[in-house]
Structure 1
């Protein structure tokens, strides 16, 4: 049987492609998706976010702490609806973003 992961609806054979795992989807969004093109590198994105939170909260917030706050938000949402796929994908995605900021990943 041929590998059908290349075609989203697999019009060539009518089969559905294998769904992505939560890890694959999070990686695709944070590494291969439009996020970086739209928002810039995670360090730049969360530096802007941290600056806005400084203005709102009146206290210094680092880009790393801004991402950790987003992780906390996703954990809170998962506590309410543990079956909600999107929150799990986002939680893993924020882990990837945090790693990229901490390691100063240039990509």
Structure 2
């Protein structure tokens, strides 16, 4: 699969998730608030995205061919600029 095709697939995944769960930035903020309470330290939406990338990378290390994890890494990386606002 070509790079443009992979990026296009990841964009479609982001759009589909937004239809189901709403705006990603809202979810990242909500997760950050929950993790802040759980961990007892402030967690930013950007840190949530970074941690989710790290989780998906750990899964890819176990199974490098796992397509969903690859799409998720690309998707969370694409959300970083929004998460930092």
Q: TM-score band (shorter)? A: 0.7 to 0.9
* Residues 17-64 of structure 1 deviation map (CA, whole Å, 9 limit, x = unaligned): xxx93211111121x32x223322222111100111112111110001
Match of 1:95 in 2: 77
Larger radius of gyration: 1
Q: Does 1:50 align with 2:50?
A: no
Tell me how far apart the structure 2 counterparts of residues 66 and 22 of structure 1 sit (CA, whole Å). 23
- Which structure ranks higher in relative contact order (CA pairs < 8 Å, sequence separation ≥ 6)? 2
Match of 2:5 in 1: 21
Contact in 2 for aligned 1:22/1:88 (Cα 8 Å): no
Contact in 2 for aligned 1:51/1:61 (Cα 8 Å): yes
**Unpaired runs of 5+ in structure 1?**
1-19
- Kindly state the Cα deviation for residue 93 of structure 1 after the two structures are TM-superposed: 0.7
- Over aligned residues, Cα RMSD in angstroms? 1.7
Tell me the TM-score normalized by structure 1. 0.68
- SS of the equivalent of 1:46 reads helix
Of Structure 1 and Structure 2, which has the larger fraction of its residues in helix? 2
Q: How many residues align?
A: 82
Tell me the TM-score normalized by structure 2. 0.83
Tell me how far apart the structure 2 counterparts of residues 52 and 80 of structure 1 sit (CA, whole Å). 28
